[in-house]
Amino acid sequence: MLILLVEDDSVLAAQTIDFLNAEGIDVDYAATLASAKEIAAKNAAFDEYDAIVLDMALPDGNALSLMQQTLAGFDAPVLFCTAATALDDKLAAFDAGALDYLTKPFALPELAVRIKLLTGKVSKQNQVFELGDLHIDFSAKIARRGGRTIVLSPQQWQLLALLAEQAPAPVSKVQILRHIWPDSEVNNNMYKSLITRLRHNLSRGDEASVIHTLKGQGVALRETTP
């Protein structure tokens, strides 16, 4: 998942980006309306993003103008994350097309959940995920492939949920490390071992591998292509 964050508080932006990265959400960042417009021009369209998070009061103007002009006609859902608490500000944001509004100060976990809800990509830990003959019920912690039940460790469940959330797109090594070991230094052997164990548990015998390591991109949960 990729979002655009437009926020002029550099400290808050850094904290937000670090937290969202650990949640498997990649972030492009702009501190001003002008920077956001440059990113839009460079990327051709804001449709590149799964969601856009906007502060309202920015150094070079009000983000409502970005909503009404540059973002007009684009599909990426917008969440305002701002210190503006007045009802008129909230109504103006929704009138401009925003789908959600979060006032500062806020908890980063709440922001992450709101983004996932907004994009329709809420963690599959409460859902069923299927890939070919692989069937995973994250709420019940049951995984089956063909006629066999798959037994996974807690860390393997964490990794599988992260991969399923972004499947078939790859998840970077940095994202995996931050998600599985957020407060620990991890050597490369621990990382490789976790990937190998999950790959082995999901694919036995003649079963095609569904865990793929993509050079320079990360790890992806997807079917093997011929």
Residue 47 pLDDT: 55
Euclidean distance between CA atoms 143 and 167, whole angstroms = 16
Task: Name the 3-class secondary structure at 200.
Answer: helix
Q: Which domains does the chain have, with CATH numbers?
A: 2-119 (3.40.50.2300), 124-221 (1.10.10.10)
Name the residue with tokens 């949960």: 221
Note the pLDDT tens digit of each residue in 120-154. Answer: 754 444 578 888 899 998 877 889 998 899 998 88
Answer for the pair 220, 170: CB distance below 8 angstroms, yes or no. Answer: yes
Residue 123 pLDDT: 46
What is the CA angle 27-138-158, rounded to 5? 50
Q: What are phi and psi of 79, to 5 degrees?
A: -120, 120
Confidence check: pLDDT of 44 > 70: no
Residue 221's nearest CA partner among 203, 206, 58, 182 is 203
Residue 180 pLDDT: 83
Type and span of the H or E element at 26: strand 26-30
Note the pLDDT tens digit of each residue in 187-219. Answer: 888 899 999 999 999 998 889 999 999 988 999
Higher pLDDT, 185 or 143: 143
